[in-house]
Amino acid sequence: MAKSKKSAGASSAKLEAERKKLLSAKNPAQYIQRSLESKLSRGEKGSITRDWLEKTGYTHEDILHARNRNDYWKEQKGKGSYKRTLTRIKKLNFAKKGQPRKAWTESDLGKFYDLNSELADWQLAQKFKTSLPAVNHIRRKFKLARLVLEKGRKPANKVGILKLARSDEKVLRNTLAGTR
C-alpha cells in the first residue's frame, strides 16, 4: 500500500511539472511544441490549454494558427491527402457519365460568377452538373482574369472578368506574365 501511495505521489509531481512546463510557454508556437513533447493525456492537455489561454490572453484561433504552422502537424495533415482528394473528387462528381465535357456558355459563366462567392465548390459542381476540377478550373480563370485586369489598371468588374474568362487558361497566364 505504501508503494502505491509513493507512485501516486510521483505521478502527481510529474503531472504538476508538465503542467508548469506547458503554462510557462510564452507564445502559441512554443505552447504547441511543448504540448507535443508532453506525456500528458489529451484530456489533461485540454484543461491545461484552457488555463494557459486564460493566463496569457491568447485565443483558440491563435493556437490553431500556430498548430497549422508546426512541422509535425503539417506532416500529419498531409498524410493521405492525395487519397482523400481523389475520394472527394469521385464522390462529388456530378457530371453525367458518358457525356462530353460541359461547354460553358456566357450565361453559365455569368451565373457561376454570381454564385462563386456564395457556394462551396461541391455545391457549384452540383448546380452546374460538372466535376470539382471543372469548378476549380473556372475559379482559376476568374482569378487570372481579375489579376490581368488589375495589372492593366482596368476595373476588375463582372463584364471584364467574364470577357477574359472565355480565353484559355494558358493565354491568361502568359498575358499576366507579360509574354503575350
pLDDT in tens, 49-84: 999 999 999 999 999 999 999 998 888 888 888 888
Q: What is the pLDDT of residue 8?
A: 57
Can you tell me the distance from the alpha carbon of 132 to that of 91, in angstroms, rounded to the nearest whole number? 10
Domain boundaries, the chain: 9-78, 94-177
Average pLDDT score over residue span 123-133: 92
Can you tell me the distance from the alpha carbon of 180 to that of 40, in angstroms, rounded to the nearest whole number? 59
Residue 110 near residue 157 (C-beta atoms within 8 A): no
* Residue ranges in 57-179 assigned as alpha helix (H): 60-69, 71-78, 81-91, 106-115, 121-127, 132-151, 158-165, 169-177
Q: What is the pLDDT of residue 180?
A: 60
Is the CA virtual torsion 173, 176, 178, 180 positive or negative?
positive
Q: How confident is the model at residue 1 (pLDDT cuts 50, 70, 90)?
A: very low
Q: What is the pLDDT of residue 89?
A: 86
Q: Which three cell numbers stand for residue 48?
A: 491545461
Distances from the Cα of 103 to the Cα of 27, 40, 81, 139, 152, angstroms: 52, 56, 30, 15, 29
Average pLDDT, the chain: 88
- The reply to whether the predicted model has a pTM over 0.75 is no
Q: What is the pLDDT of residue 7?
A: 53
pLDDT, tens digit, 9 for 90 and up, residues 112-126: 999 999 999 999 999
Average pLDDT score over residue span 135-162: 92
Average pLDDT score over residue span 18-47: 91
Question: At 164, which amino acid appears?
Answer: L
Q: What is the pLDDT of residue 9?
A: 58
Return the DSSP state at 102.
P
